[in-house]
Amino acid sequence: MRVGLYPGTFDPVTLGHLDIVRRAASLVDRLVIGVAINRDKGPLFTLEERVAMVEAECVPLGRDVGCDIIVHPFENLLIDCAHDVGASVIIRGLRAVADFEYEYQMVGMNRILDDSIETVFLMAEAEHQAIASKLVKEIARLGGDVSKFVTPTVNSALIARLRG
């Protein structure tokens, strides 16, 4: 069984994330979406809320392509999380050259830690390349419309959290 791990904070999950999930699910038999706790980023949504959002948005995508999608919170090293879930490949989404520079360093470190785990990069579709959770939150905080960047359910959650 080919198991992939797609890690992130998903605060919140965006259409860009869903694009990568949909495409990654066609490459593996099981896709584990690792929701990072990452207390340093000061997430808008709790870990439990992010896990629930990712499950609601992503699990149905797996059914569409015959891939088992599991959501797994984690706080340890990415490479250790990959071991924990039995992943042989880490999936990373890229939006721009700036993403690549950071990811290139991350792959190098992960390969030193365990060279049996590969990293696969998927480029976001053109219409999703500008979407970043950080920017979505900022637009929403300032009262802007983020409905072009997130699903209706996530949009409602953002509105409720920031204006409720």
Annotated ligand binding at 128? The verdict is yes
Q: Is the pTM of this model over 0.85?
A: yes
pLDDT at residue 120 is higher than 90 = yes
Is 151 labelled a binding residue? Answer: no
Known binder of ligand: residue 74? Answer: no
Comparing 18-32, 128-142, 144-158, which segment has the lowest mean pLDDT? 128-142
Residues acting as catalytic residues:
17, 41, 95, 133
Distance, in Å, from the CA atom of 82 to the CA atom of 140, rounded to the nearest integer, reads 33
CATH number for 3-126 (one of 3.40.50.620, 3.30.160.340, 3.40.50.20, 3.20.20.450): it is: 3.40.50.620
Q: According to the model, what pLDDT value does residue 164 have?
A: 66
For 87-119, the pLDDT digits (tens) are: 999 999 988 777 788 898 999 999 999 999 999
Mean local confidence (pLDDT), 59-66: 90
Name residue, tokens 């990072």. Answer: 36
For the chain, which residues make up each domain, given as ranges? 3-126
Q: Which region, left, alpha or beta, applies to residue 19 given φ > 0 means left and ψ of -120 to 50 means alpha?
A: alpha
95 is in an annotated binding site: yes
